[in-house]
Every structure is written in C-alpha cells, then in structure tokens.
A and B are shown apart, each in its own frame.
Chain A
Amino acid sequence: MVRVTHWITTLCFFALLLSGVEILISHPRFYWGEAGNVLTPALFVLPIPASRSTVPTGYGYVLPDQNGWSRYLHFQAAWAAVLTGLFYAFYGLFTRHFRRNLLPSRRDLSWRSLSGSIANHVRFKRPGDGEDRSYNVLQRLSYLLVIFVLFPLVIWTGLAMSPAVASAFPFAVTAFGGQQSARTLHFFVSIFLVLFLLVHIVMIFLAGFRNRMRAMITGGARGQGEEHA
C-alpha cells in the first residue's frame, strides 16, 4: 500500500510541477507581504520571459499561455495528492510504518552513527547488506522532512493563496505575512521538493537502479521476498 501511494504521489508530483511551472511563467515576479504587482517593487524576478504581455521582462517575446488547463490540472492533481497523502498518513500510523521504517532509532541519531553514515555517503560507499531491506538514518531523516515538513508546507502555502480559504481561515495567510509571501514560499518549498527528487533519483542509481525499482514496484528486494508493503 505504501508503494501504491508512492507511485500515485509521483504521478501527481509531475502533474503539479509541470502545471506549476506553466502558472509561474505567467508572472515570474515574486513579492513579500499581502499584495504585489508590476507597479510595486519585487522581492526578486526570475530572468525568464513571461506568458503574458502585461509583465515587463525585458524579453521581446511572450511565451505561449497555458494557464487555463494548467490551473485545472494543478488543483485536480493537488486533490489527488492530498487525498493519497491523507490515506498514507492514516495507513502509516495504523500499520506502524512510520515507527518501523521512518523514525530513526535513538542509537542511529548519535553523533557517531550520523557522522559514520554521512562519511559513507560522501565516499559513495555502496549500501551494506542490511540497507537493502531498510532505510539508513540519512534516508529516514530526509523522508521524514519531505513527508512531514515540506509536503504540509507546500499544501498550506498553496491554500493560503486561495481568496476563499483566506476569508474563512485568515490565520493561514497572516502566519506567512500575506498572500504574496505565501506565493513566494510556495515557490521555494517547491524548489526544495524538486531538489529532493533529483537527489532521490541519483541515490536510486547509485544504490542499484534495477534492484531498487524492483523493490519499489513488487515489494521484494533481490528476490528475498521481504514484505515492505
């Protein structure tokens, strides 16, 4: 079940990323606070052309505008991801998946063990025997960060941009300092998620692509049939 939710989330993530980029290029300027537009100073501006002619970018051309379906897709994929995430969270609590597979043991969190794991990673040491079946401490910490910090934050900052949600739950917006702040943070959290994805993919290749993919698709690592589902 964890594997099923993983692949649904993967699909949603790519849909959100693609549509998110499409929405972003209609106004590649970022602000801090409640409001911001082309007449007010920007916090920073991405050096790319825009898909709307109303944004002065310095480029002589306008990118194709794909905002309509991108917005529909973004929110549909967000719903699918949130519902999958909720299911995963309850399932993980109920089956003790988080405690067994994601929460590092106290011993693993000692400075010695952590520095040992970091040293192994820096030297690109191949995973040891035990690591074929379970996650190492750095893996556990980064998965916990993504699942319990970055995902909730990207959902929250996304909701904080909604005028209807802002009217019903003003604190969801004021906590960030305004709707434009939420938009800027939404962008940065997304960048962190993309960085995680890149490292995640590189690690799969370093650890043995075929074996890891088989484990994540069928649940068995090297045919040993260890049940991870």
Chain B
Amino acid sequence: MSKLSRRRLLKTGLAATAGASGLVVAAELADRFGLIPPDHGGLYGAGETLTYASQRLLTRHSLAREFSRSQISKPPFANDTAPMNAAYKRLQAGGFTDWRLGVDGMVSRPSLFSLAELKSYPVRSQITHLACEEGWSYIAEWTGVTLSHVLDAVGVHPQARYVVYRSIEPDWWDSIDMADALHPQTLIAYGMNGAELPVGNGGPLRMRLPRQLGYKSVKYITRLTLTDNLKRFGKGLGSASPEGGYAWYAGI
C-alpha cells in the first residue's frame, strides 16, 4: 500500500468532482431528451435506463418487421380468456355498440370514440410478431387505426410527453412515450387475421405496439390520457408493470 500523498488526494478529489458534475449534466441532458424511464429508481434502475436510453437513440424511427400472410401462426394464437368483469359483460351483451374509447388530458378536444367511428378512420393492417416476456410468440395480422391518427383528431398539446392507456380491467394500465405513440406501427387494433379481434386477444379494442413485448399491448382499452408527468398515475412508475415487478419499457 502506498501512502496517500497530498498530490494524489488532490488529483482524486478533482477527478471525482469532475466525474460527479459530468454525471449531473448527463442526467439533465438525458432527461431533456426523454432518455430516462419512469422506473429509473431502485436497484435495477441503471440497467433499465441504459436499455431505454440506448434504444431511444438507436431505434426511435425503426420499423418492426412485417411478414407475409403465409407466416401467420397456425393455428391462430388465443390466450385463455380470464373471466371478464361485469362492465365488460354488459358491453359484450350489447355487441360492443356502447364501447367507448375516451381521450383526455393534454388535448384540445377531449373526445369519446365509438368502435364505428374508429373503424371509419383510415385502416392500417400489418402482419407482425408478438413476443411475450415468457418466451413464446406468434405472428398475426392486426387491423386498426394508428394511434397517431386518433391523437391528431383530438389535437395533442405540444407539452404532452406520454400517453397513458387504461383497460376496462381496472388494474391494467400502461403508458408509452410520444416516440412510440406517434410511431406509424402503433395501432389501436380492432381486427385480427381478417376478422373482428377475438375476446382472448383483447377484443373489441387493444393497444398494439410491435416494437415492445406483448404486455405493453394492453387489452380492452377504454381510455387514453395525454400527460407530461407520469408521477400522477398509480405509484408514479409509469404503468402497472413496474408495480408488479416488471420493466416499464419492454423493447428490451
């Protein structure tokens, strides 16, 4: 062990100060450019922030691969359908004619959309891969309206940074940043493989983000809220996933 000389102490002190202030500046810049995920705190925050920041820098505009019809998974995938709540069953009994997608928060024209209205908008169909965090996956054709089209229709305030979306199942809610919200492949899907979206796959309406794992594509959505601050929702971690121990950003 060498003795700690005054020069060495000074040098180390200077380097530490420079390093610390560098980190503060970097954190400030990263936050301004939207590179910090809402679940950045805690034990695994560093890894999560590195993943989100690097993917925002490298994949902001990339398009998920689209497949040919022959690659659609056969038989078509269907989840076990959990028993739905009373509110859902009531709407289902009415053929979903009373299903509404509400859009509120930082928008100029808060609105309620029926399925028929959503279907009257330009239709986008895409054959993409849906991967679950468990490891399995399937390819299907998804039909819907782009989220960006709906957002244009309500007039999003420029300060909005996130879209929070909620399911008719009260515990299911999630959020995405504007990069994902305005992405041309982010759909509010109402159809699958050429038919109505089955209940097991989220019918009548689900979010569909092909560049993130399946759990971000929340089923049975009823409400979108535009916000500049996720702290006001739930425990402030951006979605129900981190509250259950899962990452907010699931592009991995």
Give A contacts to B, CB under 8 Å: 23-24, 26-27, 29, 31, 34-40, 52, 54-55, 67-69, 71-73, 75-80, 161-168, 170, 173, 179-180, 183
Give every chain A residue within 8 A of B137 (Cβ-Cβ): 34-37, 179-180
Task: Say yes or no for B129: interface residue by CB 8 A criterion.
Answer: yes
The answer to whether B136 and A167 have CB atoms under 8 Å apart is no
Q: Measured between alpha carbons, how far is A31 from B67 in the docked complex, in Å?
A: 18
A26 CA to B213 CA, complexed, in Å: 15
Q: A164 to B251, Cβ gap below 8 A?
A: yes
Shortest distance between the CB of B214 and any CB in chain A (Å)? 9
In contact, A27 and B251 (Cβ under 8 angstroms): no
Partner of A162, one of B47, B75, B136, B252: B252
Known: A40-B73, A167-B62, A168-B59. A79 touches B135 (CB 8 A): no
Binding site for A on B (CB under 8 A): 43-44, 46-48, 50-51, 55, 58-59, 62-65, 67, 71, 73-75, 77-80, 129, 131-139, 210-213, 244-247, 251-252
Please indicate which of the listed interface residues B77, B79, B136, B213 has the most CB atoms of chain A within 10 Å of its own CB.
B136
B50 & A54 in contact (Cβ 8 Å cutoff): no
Residue of A nearest to B65 (CB): A170
Residues from chain B with a CB closer than 8 A to the CB of A68 are: 244-246
Q: Check if B129 sits within 8 Å of A179, measured CB to CB.
A: yes
Q: Give 13 new A-B contacts, CB below 8 A, not counting A72-B43, A163-B213, A167-B64.
A: A23-B133, A35-B138, A37-B77, A38-B136, A71-B247, A72-B47, A76-B47, A79-B47, A163-B251, A167-B62, A168-B58, A168-B59, A179-B129
Q: Which residue of A lies closest to B139 (CB)?
A: A35
- B131 contacts across to A, CB distance below 8 A: 161, 163, 179
- 8 pairs of residues in contact across A and B, judged by CB atoms under 8 Å: A29-B135, A36-B137, A37-B136, A67-B245, A166-B65, A167-B65, A167-B211, A183-B135
Within 8 Å CB of B129, what residues of A?
34-35, 163, 166, 179
Chain A positions within 8 Å of B51 at CB level:
75, 79
For B44, B71, B73, B244, the residue with the greatest tally of chain A CB atoms inside 10 Å of its CB is B44
A39, B133: Cβ atoms closer than 8 Å = no
Residue of B43, B48, B129, B252 contacting most chain A CB atoms (<10 Å): B252
Evaluate contact between A39 and B50: CB separation under 8 angstroms. no
Within the assembled complex, what's the spacing in Å between the Cα atoms of A207 and B168?
64
Q: Which residue of B lies closest to A26 (CB)?
A: B134
Q: Which residues of B contact A79 (CB under 8 A)?
A: 46-47, 50-51
**Contact in complex: B77, A39 (CB < 8 Å):** yes
Across-interface contacts of B55 in A (CB, < 8 A): 162, 164-165
**Given contacts A39-B75, A68-B244, are A163 and B64 in contact (CB under 8 A)?**
yes
> Hey, which chain B residues are within 8 Å of A35, CB to CB?
71, 73, 129, 137-139
What is the bound-complex CA distance between A164 and B251, given in angstroms?
5
Question: Are A76 and B80 touching (Cβ within 8 A)?
Answer: no
Whether B211 pairs with A164 at a CB distance below 8 angstroms is yes
Report the Cα distance A162→B51, complex, angstroms.
Answer: 11
Contacts of B244 in A (CB 8 A): 68
Quick check: A29 and B136 within 8 Å, CB to CB? yes
Contact residues in B for A75 (Cβ distance below 8 Å): 44, 47-48, 51, 247, 252
Is B139 in contact with A34, judged by CB distance below 8 angstroms? yes
B235 shortest CB reach to chain A, Å: 15
* Chain A positions within 8 Å of B246 at CB level: 67-68, 71
Minimal beta-carbon separation of B39 from chain A (angstroms) = 9
CA distance A26 to B137 in the complex (A): 13
Nearest to A80 among chain B residues (CB) is B47
B44 touches A73 (CB 8 A): yes
Q: When chains A and B are docked, how far (Å) is the Cα of A69 from the Cα of B245?
A: 6
B211→A24 contact, CB < 8 A: no
In the complex, are the beta carbons of B80 and A163 less than 8 A apart? no
A79 to B54, CA, bound (A): 11
Chain A nearest CB from B43 CB (Å) reads 8
| Residues on A with beta carbons closer than 8 Å to the beta carbon of B212 | 163-164
